[in-house]
């Protein structure tokens, strides 16, 4: 039986809006460093999910992270910085980055599971 507290820990860790600080840091402080922090955080969470066979948590967690990032962007009025994100809006950039990260994680998971079968 899978441990429920591992799933809970991973879901709570996914509730941090990783994409928002990266975009916000880029807009406010002109730093790309937080994109690297976001990538590392998503990689660690992906590995935790795959290694503990919590694929459902992987999907739910990515959706939660996206929703919380979008909500945080709206609450902090990040849309005032839309001139910085041309041709994207702040919301569409968050969505695009989240989808790209999720697609990369899906590809990595597919490769991992394919290797496990052989």
How far is 88 from 10, CA to CA, in rounded Å? 30
In a domain, 7, yes or no: no
Residues 109, 62: contact at Cβ < 8 Å?
no
In a domain, 6, yes or no: no
In a domain, 23, yes or no: yes
In a domain, 85, yes or no: yes
pTM for the structure as a whole? 0.86
**pLDDT average, residue stretch 93-110:** 94
pLDDT value, residue 103: 95
- Whether 1 has a pLDDT exceeding 60, the answer reads no
pLDDT value, residue 82: 81
In a domain, 1, yes or no: no
pLDDT tens column, 17-46: 999 999 999 999 999 999 999 999 999 999
How many distinct structural domains can be found in the chain? Answer: 1
In a domain, 78, yes or no: yes
pLDDT tens column, 51-66: 888 889 999 999 999 9
In a domain, 10, yes or no: no
In a domain, 104, yes or no: yes
Provide the residue range defining the domain that includes 105.
17-117
């Amino acid at each position: 039986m899978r441990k429920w507290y591992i799933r809970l820990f991973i879901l709570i860790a996914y509730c941090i809006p990783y994409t928002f600080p990266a975009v916000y840091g880029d807009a406010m402080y002109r730093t790309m460093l937080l994109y690297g922090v976001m990538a590392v955080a998503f990689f660690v969470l992906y590995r935790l999910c795959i290694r503990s066979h919590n694929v459902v948590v992987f999907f739910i967690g990515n959706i939660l992270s996206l929703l919380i990032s979008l909500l945080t962007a709206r609450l902090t009025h990040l849309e005032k910085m839309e001139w910085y994100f041309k041709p994207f809006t702040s919301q569409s950039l968050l969505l695009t980055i989240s989808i790209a990260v999720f697609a990369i994680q899906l590809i990595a998971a597919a490769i991992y599971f394919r290797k496990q079968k052989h």
